[in-house]
Amino acid sequence: MTSVSRLESIYKDLEKEHQRVIKQMGRLRASVGVTDMVPLLDELRTLLIVHFAREQLPDGFYDALGALAESRRDELQTLIDEHAAILSHLNETLARAKDAGGVDESDLLDRVSNLLEQLSDHEQKEHQFAVDVLGAESGVT
Ligand SMILES: [Fe+2]
Ligand SMILES: [Fe+2]
């Protein structure tokens, strides 16, 4: 299997997971109030831990991307750093949402909205990276 078809097949295998992440973001955007948000944030956290780990597996998605984009290693490192930043932001948001001392609802709404923006930006960048690499390698413009 060539590196391009390997990347294509790995990226395709991730499609369902990416759809799940997008769906969960939609649920969170549609949610109203803290009681609604906590279980959705918990589910998003579980999803993302698995998703990010899978993308970073040896011989996984990011490895396959890196092999085809040697000159863009720094962008790949940024994506990896963003995984950690998003999870840490999510953990902090969940801690605030579960704060026994009381929840500042408008602060929480802001945090969730920032988190979703950060995650959506990450996933779009990652998608564009894969499309660029696959497009360049297969001669498609
Ligand atoms: Fe990612
Ligand atoms: Fe992803």
From ligand 1's centre to the CA of 16, what distance in Å?
A: 14
From ligand 2's centre to the CA of 51, what distance in Å?
A: 7
From ligand 2's centre to the CA of 100, what distance in Å?
A: 33
From ligand 1's centre to the CA of 100, what distance in Å?
A: 32
Identify the pLDDT of residue 138: 65
pLDDT tens readout for residues 102-128? 888 999 999 999 999 999 999 999 999
- The pTM score is 0.93
Ligand nearest to the CA of 86: 1
Q: At what angle do helices 105-138 and 61-68 cross, to 10 degrees?
A: 50
From ligand 1's centre to the CA of 88, what distance in Å?
A: 14
Given a cut of 50, the residues of the chain with pLDDT beneath it are none
Ligand nearest to the CA of 127: 2
Domain ranges of the chain: 3-138
Ligand nearest to the CA of 13: 2
